[in-house]
Structure 1
Amino acid sequence: MSEKNQLRDVFDAIADPTRRRLIRLLSEAKEIPLHELAIQFQMGRTAVSKHLTILKEAGLVLDRKVGRETLFRLNAAPLREIQDWVAFYSKFWNANLTRLNQLLEEEEE
C-alpha cells in the first residue's frame, strides 16, 4: 500500500496511546509476532490485533505470514508527515519566542 493510498489518517492512527506503544515496541525489533506483542498489554490478542489493523491501514505497520504466525514490523515512512507538521509549528514558536525575547530586551533598555 503506497502512502498516497492509505485508508486511514496517520494522525488518527497515532492518537491512541496503545497504538503509540505498539509503534515503540515495533521500532525496537525487526519483526514481532502477535502473541509477543499481546503479552505487553492488559488486553487480549483480538484487541491488540484491532489496533494493529488501524496502524496497517495508516501504512505504519507491515505484516507477513510465516506458517500459522503473523509477524509485524514498523514502516516509519508515514511518520514523516507528523514530523513535517511538528517542524512547521516549531518554526512558528521559535520565531514568536525570539520576537518576544526581543520585545522584552527592548523594554528593559
Structure 2
Amino acid sequence: MADVAALDAVMRTLADPTRRAVYERIVGSDEISVVELTRGSGVTQSAISQHLRSLKQAGLITDRAQGRNVFYRSEPKGLAPLFDWMSHYGVFWRERFGNLRSLLKEIDP
C-alpha cells in the first residue's frame, strides 16, 4: 500500500475545505497566480500563500517563477498515495460485494 507518511500528508492537506477549494481552482486551470487565487476567494493573500505552501509540501502542486510572479499548477503524481490507498479498498469492496451477490443467489434461487 502507499507510503503512510505521504498518504497522511495528502489527506491532512485536503481535509481543510479552504485548501481543498484552492486546490480545485488550481486543478481547473493550466496555471494560476496567487493574485488570481485570492481574487473572489474571500481569503487574504497571506492565507492563500499558506495554503499553497501546504499543497506544495504535500506534493499536490508545483510552482514556476516568472519575474515577480509565481504560477501554480497541479501535480497529478501528488495524488498517487491517495489513489493507491483507495484502490486497495476498491479491491476490498469488490470482493465483499461479490460475496454478497453469491449469498443472495443462494438464498433466492
Partner of 2:74: 74
Query: How many angstroms does 1:87 deviate by?
Result: 0.9
Match of residue 17 from structure 1: 17
1:1-109 paired onto structure 2 within 5 Å: 9-109=9-109
- 1:38 and 1:85 map into 2 onto residues whose CA distance is 32
Q: In structure 1, what is the Cα distance between the partners aligned to 2:64 and 2:100?
A: 52
Return the TM-score normalized by structure 1. Answer: 0.83
How many Å apart are 1:65 and its aligned residue? 2.4
Show CA shifts across 1:11-67 (max 9, x none).
Answer: 211122222222222122221110101124111111111111100111112123222
Sequence identity (%): 34
Query: How much does 1:72 deviate?
Result: 1.2
Give the paired residue count: 103
Aligned residue type for 1:65:
A
> Normalized against structure 2, the TM-score is what?
0.83
Distance 2:100 2:59 in 1: 40
- Tell me how large the CA RMSD over aligned residues is: 1.7
After TM superposition, where is structure 1 displaced by more than 4 Å over at least 4 residues in a row?
Answer: none
Whichever structure has more helix as a proportion of its residues is 2
The answer for unaligned runs of 5 or more in structure 1 is 1-5
Which residue is equivalent to 1:3? none
Taking the aligned partners of 1:87 and 1:40, their CA distance within structure 2 comes to 36
Give 1:94 shift: 1.1
1:89 partner letter: Y
Aligned to 2:3: none
